[in-house]
Amino acid sequence: MSNTKPAMINYSIIDGSHIAYATYSGDIPLHEVEEFYMDLIQRSDLPKNLRILQDEREARFLDTEKTIDHIVLLLPKLVERFTTLRIAIWQVKPLETAYSKLFIGQIKTKNVAVTVFYTKEAALSWL
């Protein structure tokens, strides 16, 4: 019997705002994260200054090092589509928080800001 949980990334726009709220749950492979970001790029109804609240409290990333490297390479494509990008990562698990901080440390793309938060309120305030 496998210990893996089905991966899901769902997102919607928070009512009355221009913030995309994405919930990550289960064991997340690289292709799920890539599909999520590529879907954002394809949407024409999102604001040019995109704000994303990523709720990663129920997620575990598979092949984390490869995922970090790949997402860092996707950020310039997001900035081509959006003028600025702010991502608030809502995380409460120590290991995943450490991976998020590693990801943040590798970002060199202008007009991209990413920070990790332990509460939804703090994340929304920053966005």
Delimit the domains of the chain by residue range: 8-126
Query: How does pLDDT run across 87-99, given as a tens digit for each residue?
Result: 999 999 998 899 9
Mean pLDDT value across the chain: 89
* Pair type for strands 19-28 and 112-117: unpaired
Q: What phi and psi, each to the nearest 5 degrees, are found at residue 124? A: -65, -40
Higher pLDDT among residues 45 and 85, named by residue: 85
* Length, in residues, of the chain: 127
pLDDT at 1: 41
- Going from the C-alpha of 65 to that of each of 69, 96, 98, the distances in angstroms are 6, 12, 12
What end-to-end distance do the CA atoms of the chain give, in Å? 41
Query: How does pLDDT run across 58-76, given as a tens digit for each residue?
Result: 998 887 788 888 899 999 9
pLDDT at 6: 63
For the entire predicted model, the pTM comes to 0.89
Whether residue 27 contacts residue 4, with contact meaning beta carbons closer than 8 Å, is answered with yes
Q: How much is the average pLDDT of 107-124?
A: 96
Q: How much is the average pLDDT of 111-123?
A: 96
**Confidence tier at 44 by pLDDT (50, 70, 90):** confident
- CATH number, domain 8-126: 3.30.750.24
SS3 79: helix
